[in-house]
Structures are given as structure tokens and as C-alpha cells.
Structure 1
């Protein structure tokens, strides 16, 4: 995982921890939603809350490749996890950099690792500079990022992760032009991830599945200082995190909901059958005065370049949420059994 934790990154981590077919062998902390050190702290805290064993968390670059870092506390809260107040972890970050972690793990497990990027691509770009053969060493790469036939969420044409470090995104897409067709990156862009709408009803179902009490329904009238009283800590912290996301989306007239960009990408990384994809050649605009950081897809071969990505063009959000609620709810219940069990 390469993350900028982040509210929806948090749930992507929970989803993978709750999936028996997944083994997380390393996590890279990328500066994005919040600075890299805060990303690492949030990730380590979630590992504590989930009572999991040692998973290496490596600190990434403090800045994008070529421009100053822009963070988004207005979207994810002052610490990056909304209204949640996660306990400070006593775990330590790795002694190796995030880029080195990418390289070392890929070399140690050639053809076995699925890379999942839910933040800016800074660390992966740096890793490619260290090991240009990464496109051949990874089994698959899944990227949450970009916007194609869809408005941006940062500028009229820009998606956030690419906007933070467009040079890195271009380096990654250029490098993965060397990947064989069956190992092309799967790209989960805003075109699809903004159809993955979490609503208060999903939190209710998640709490019920976990056996958490009381069963809570968050509402638009809840004040910012409100905090969940859920008995299950995973449900409690996540409720406080995602309610901030609900408030943010409502503030920008998108409804009282939250787009679950990153958990969807995590689900696709484990089961690509959740997604309908279409091959394309993806490039990133770096010089346009009003379109810089725009992801552009050539769907029909006009550039004369082979496809370097499989872009998700369809999915079933209900199927995704059924899977998420089942997995994360059961996992939360197993980690923190209800007192009556």
C-alpha cells in the first residue's frame, strides 16, 4: 500500500485487513492529504486500533518531485482523519525510505506483489528511479487517481492525487508503458469513484454487523464537536472520521455523503472482477496554464502508442458496499467481540 491517510485511505486499510486473501507486506506513507509524517502517524494508529501485528510503515518524501506540497486538511480534517482522535502509537516507522521499501519488496517477491496507490505517486516515481524494472517485477499496480470523462475535484480538470504531484504521475504512467498487457495498471479515476457514495445508512449497517452498540445514525444536524459513542473502537473511530467527510461533501453541495475512492481501489486490487475496464494510453499534462495536472486518455490510438493502463469504466456500487460492510463489520466484531458474546 502507498497511502496518504486520509479518511478514505483509512477504510481502504481496514478493508484489506479484513480480507483473508490479502497480506499487507508494507505500507508507504506519502505526503498528500496531510504531510508524510502525519500520514505515517495515522497509519500506525490505525494498525494499533485494529490490533494487528507488525506491518512495516516507511516514511516517504516530504515534498512532491518538482513543486511545493499542497495538503487538504479542509477535506480530511486537521490530522487527516476527520473528527476522529486516534491514540498515539508507540510503533516506529521503518529505517528505510518508502521508495526503498517499494524496491526491496518487489525484488524479494518478483511477480507476486500487487501495488495499491491511494495517494500521490511521489514515492513510486522515486522507486522507479531506483529500479526501472518495477513494471516487470510487480504482479499488478492499482492506482486511485485521475479524471478522464469527468470533472476534476481540485480544479475543473484535475483529480487531487495527480494534482499534488503531476510530475510523479507522468513518470509512473510513462514507466508502466513497458509493462506487459496483463500487468497494465488498473486506474480507478473519479469517473467511477464518485459513484461509490457512502451514506449514513452504510454506517448503520456496518455498526450492526459489528455488533456495536448503540446503533448510531449520523445526521446533518450533528455539531462538529459530537463524537461517536459506539462500543466497538473500529466503528467509533471510523464513524468520527467519515462524518467529517459527510460534512465536507455537503458543504460543497454534493449531498450528505462521502465518496469512497480508496476503499473501492482496494477492493479492485483484490478482485478486478468488481470492475469493467477499458485499455487506454494515459499521459499527464504538465505545461497547460489552466490544464496542468490533467490526466488525458487516448482511447483509440491517436498517439500511436500502446495502452499503458486499464481504466475502470463500470462497476456495481451496491455489490462493493455489500462486500465492504460484510468484511469490515465481521472484522471489527472479531477484533472487539460484543460483551454478550
Structure 2
């Protein structure tokens, strides 16, 4: 099987960890580098989470690079209320068995793209700070990538951070605007297949993890566990016999509790794992092509992703916006990949 080189830029985070588990469990993926982005938690905690997760998964040979400490133009905001004080809910990771690269995350983007010209798949599941900085270093970066998949934004849909803004974009709106502008300049109508694929809340909130699906994952790994319930004591720890399933269950429990407290039920949206799956197989999702930009100055709308569906701006389309997904098919694929991979770690 041909393995696709993937460079993942993450702000790990519960669902980022699930996305990395998906990539590591995919026989058709070769993770060639991980960029740590400040977002869900500060950048040093993101680095620790990435290194610890790789140690857990016996994949510490994958380079991990430290990214910028703050967004391009504003102070950093983090989301420990959503992801827990260390970003992974109640989970505890082993100590790292590798060190960070001596070069930063923006340089890591450029190095990976140059090492795999025309083949590298870029995946961003956090703020786009590192990617924007990488494009400043190498303006031709869009032309070096095979494709780019971004989890971010909300299109004709409510926000989850403000009434109109999604978290990743809201943390660093300037970087999102800059990335979309660079991509517009790099590609025109003659190359529509190379436009980035943007998965917003309008799509990712349809991918709803439940305790029942998490139990299916444990069963696929051959792991004994106790199914979760909304009636469990807060902070109950996983009884899973498998180390990766135990970490994912402890992380997801915090995520379930957060969504429950938000009035959404004892469930969780798997934004980032869907993006990881699409990075390897874009046909999992249907798209609409449009020109998009990020509002930077609106008093009520800063961070809003605006799609020009009808060409009012007179600019080339710069994105394929995810519009439809079969959530059941995604979860079948997630379980089929992550479960057997977890079983190898017993």
C-alpha cells in the first residue's frame, strides 16, 4: 500500500489527540511531522501532549516541532474549560521518549513540503498561526502541497466561541485571513483541485461521538472496559485494559461532560478526527466551492468566516467548503483503524 505523507499541525486538545490516533492507525498514512500550535492549551503543553501521545503509541520517531507562543496579532486565549487543564481531559500520558526538533513549526512545514514536493498532505486542526508563518518563509508553499485540509470556521451556521465565530479561527483570525489570501494568490480558476478543503462547524458538528460508539472502539481493540454513562461520577477514570483506549476514554469523558454542561447531551463533536480522515480520503465529504475570508474588524463579528457563494467580490474561489458527510461511515472507518492499532499496544 502506498503511504501518503501527512504533516499535522495541531493544538492537542481532546479531538486533536483522536485525530492523531486516526493517522497513526492508518496504514495508508505516514506522519512525517507534527507542528504544535498554541490554542486549546499553551504551546508548551501542546508539545508535551504530542510527545507523550507518540510515546504511548510507540511512534516517537515522528518529529515534533514547537510553534509560536501566541497568535499573530492578539493575546492567546485557551480552552481548558473544554479540554481540561492539560488539554486531554482526565487522561494521563507517559513521559516523552523523544525531544522537540531544534527548528520551529513554521520551518518544519517548509522542510516537510520541500522533502515531499507535490505529495505532502497538510492538516491543520488548530489556529493557523504556524501555517501563516510558514507561508511567509516559503510563499510557494501552496504549490508544494498535494492538498491542505483545515478544520475551522462556520459557514451559514452558528459559532461555538461567539455567536458567529468558530474556536480555531477566533483564536487567530489574522492567520486565517492571511492563509486564505495567500492561497487565493497562488491558485486561480485554472487549478480548482488544489484549493484547500475547509471543514467548518456546519459539517463537523454532525459527527457526534457517544458512549456507545466509544464502547465499539474498545471492543474493536479487544479491550475490556466499562461503558460510560451520564450517571457516572464526574471524573471517573477509565477501566479499559488497553493503554490507548484508556487515554482516549479518560479524555472523552471530560469532553462528554463539557458538552453535557452546554446543554448538548452526553456526547461530543469529533471535529478534528473528521479532518484527519478527509486528509487521507477527500471523498468522505461533499463540498461547495467558494471564496472565503475572515472578518477582522467587526465589533460583533470578528473571527467570522464569510463565504461569497455568488461571486459578489469578483475574486477567484479559494476553498472547497465541506457541506455533507456520512457520519456513520466515518465512525465505521475510525473504529476499523484505531481499534486494531490500539490492540498492537497492549
Same fold (TM over 0.5): yes
241-250 or 80-89: bigger deviation: 80-89
Partner of 1:192: 203
CA deviation after TM superposition for structure 1 residue 229, in Å? 1.5
Residues 243 and 345 in structure 2, CA contact (< 8 A), matched pair in contact too: no
**TM-score, normalisation: structure 1:** 0.97
Partner of 1:57: 64
Distance in 1 separating the partners of 2:315 and 2:301? 22
Q: Structure 1, unaligned stretches of length 5 or more?
A: 337-341
Aligned length in residues: 335
Residues 51 and 60 in structure 2, CA contact (< 8 A), matched pair in contact too: no
Residues 146 and 161 in structure 1, CA contact (< 8 A), matched pair in contact too: yes
CA deviation after TM superposition for structure 1 residue 53, in Å? 4.2
Distance in 2 separating the partners of 1:238 and 1:50? 12
Distance in 2 separating the partners of 1:93 and 1:53? 10
Distance in 1 separating the partners of 2:170 and 2:31? 27
Partner of 1:217: 227
CA deviation after TM superposition for structure 1 residue 52, in Å? 1.6
**Corresponding position: 1:237 with 2:247:** yes
Partner of 2:214: 203
Distance in 2 separating the partners of 1:48 and 1:87? 7
For each residue in 1:114-137, what CA deviation from the matched residue of structure 2 results, as whole angstroms up to 9, or x when unmatched?
000000000000001111101111
Distance in 2 separating the partners of 1:283 and 1:39? 27
Residues 83 and 224 in structure 1, CA contact (< 8 A), matched pair in contact too: no
CA deviation after TM superposition for structure 1 residue 223, in Å? 2.0
Residues 4 and 119 in structure 1, CA contact (< 8 A), matched pair in contact too: yes
For each residue in 1:212-245, what CA deviation from the matched residue of structure 2 results, as whole angstroms up to 9, or x when unmatched?
01x3211112223311121100000100000100
For each residue in 1:166-217, what CA deviation from the matched residue of structure 2 results, as whole angstroms up to 9, or x when unmatched?
000000011111233111000010000000000000111011111101x321
Residues 90 and 250 in structure 2, CA contact (< 8 A), matched pair in contact too: yes
**Which residue of the other structure, out of 71, 75, 78, is the alignment partner of 1:68?**
75
CA deviation after TM superposition for structure 1 residue 108, in Å? 2.1
Partner of 2:194: 183
Distance in 2 separating the partners of 1:223 and 1:34? 25
3-state secondary structure, aligned to 1:54: coil
Distance in 2 separating the partners of 1:90 and 1:266? 25
For each residue in 1:64-108, what CA deviation from the matched residue of structure 2 results, as whole angstroms up to 9, or x when unmatched?
000000000000000000111112213211100000000111122
Distance in 2 separating the partners of 1:216 and 1:121? 38
Distance in 1 separating the partners of 2:106 and 2:161? 26
**CA RMSD between the two structures:** 0.8
**TM-score, normalisation: structure 2:** 0.96
Partner of 1:339: none
**Which residue of the other structure, out of 85, 95, 100, is the alignment partner of 1:88?**
95
**Which residue of the other structure, out of 301, 311, 317, is the alignment partner of 1:291?**
301
For each residue in 1:18-65, what CA deviation from the matched residue of structure 2 results, as whole angstroms up to 9, or x when unmatched?
100000000000000000110010011111111124000000000100
Distance in 2 separating the partners of 1:325 and 1:106? 30
Partner of 1:118: 125
Residues 170 and 303 in structure 2, CA contact (< 8 A), matched pair in contact too: yes
Distance in 2 separating the partners of 1:79 and 1:13? 17
Spell out structure 1 runs of 4+ moving beyond 4 A.
none
3-state secondary structure, aligned to 2:81: helix
Residues 11 and 37 in structure 2, CA contact (< 8 A), matched pair in contact too: yes
Residues 235 and 253 in structure 2, CA contact (< 8 A), matched pair in contact too: no
3-state secondary structure, aligned to 1:277: strand
Distance in 1 separating the partners of 2:226 and 2:149? 34
For each residue in 1:268-321, what CA deviation from the matched residue of structure 2 results, as whole angstroms up to 9, or x when unmatched?
000011000110101000010010110000111111111000000001000000
